[in-house]
Amino acid sequence: MILAIDIGNSNIVIAMHKDDAWTNTFRYETKDTQPEFYYESALRNILLEWRISGSDVGHCVISSVVPDLNEVIIEAVKNVTGCHPLLLNPEVYKILDIEIPHPYEIGSDIVANAYAAIKLYSNACIIVDFGTALTFTIADKSGITGVTIAPGLKTAIQSLSSQTAQLPLVPIELPVSVIGHDTVSAIQSGVMWGYVGLVNEIIQRQKSELKGTYKVIATGGLITILHPLQTSFDIVSKELTLDGMRLIYDFYTSHK
């Protein structure tokens, strides 16, 4: 039984893998201002809700793009389960059987996505991750060969509201029309349909610069909102990051 904790800028995802499947998943908002006991209490309550004893958790892997939370959550895992989690970092990447460029700069979520995509789906792929940042990762059998990063949907909408005096924070919904008829629909049509165009354009430009055939794999919490993009993706995998974390854990622990 493997516990996976994916610490993102917007959300923390906690998931349990057992018998070749993700049997339980819980998502809550990332709050780096919470006291240390908050995360330990949250983990205890989640396992209690899943009817899983902490002592039954034999392994744990953590991916984090919020360094300030790393030690707090590592200690929470130790206290609740008794196991020492593996934190994805450059020392782990050195052991992997793919190349990770700029290991001290690249996000562990990007590494996990690429590893899962290569091992599970294709030796040549473009991974589109709809998270706090919108990332396009190019990977082949040798490893990660390039990354493109743009603000995520939620980030763009929040920024538009916080950086202007009169524009409100609007729901992340795709309107039927690209023409807005009030402030809310005007923002939604501009941002949401703008992102449809952004994603399609970057995918097409990346493909034109690459040699060979690349599969496009989409993942991330906001993937279902931009439904016109579904035809642009060969594969949609909501658990791609978690799968990558698990596969990296398995490879690392068997080769270190």
Collect all residues with Cβ–Cβ distance below 8 Å to 54 and sequence separation of at least 6.
Answer: 44, 47, 80, 81, 82
Examine the residue annotation and report whether 32 is marked as an active-site residue of this protein: no
Collect all residues with Cβ–Cβ distance below 8 Å to 242 and sequence separation of at least 6.
Answer: 4, 6, 13, 15, 17, 22, 112
Q: Which of 19, 68, 97, 109 is catalytic?
A: 109
- Distances 49 to 11, 30, 46, 197, 240 between C-alpha atoms, Å: 19, 20, 5, 41, 24
Q: Which residues are catalytic?
A: 109
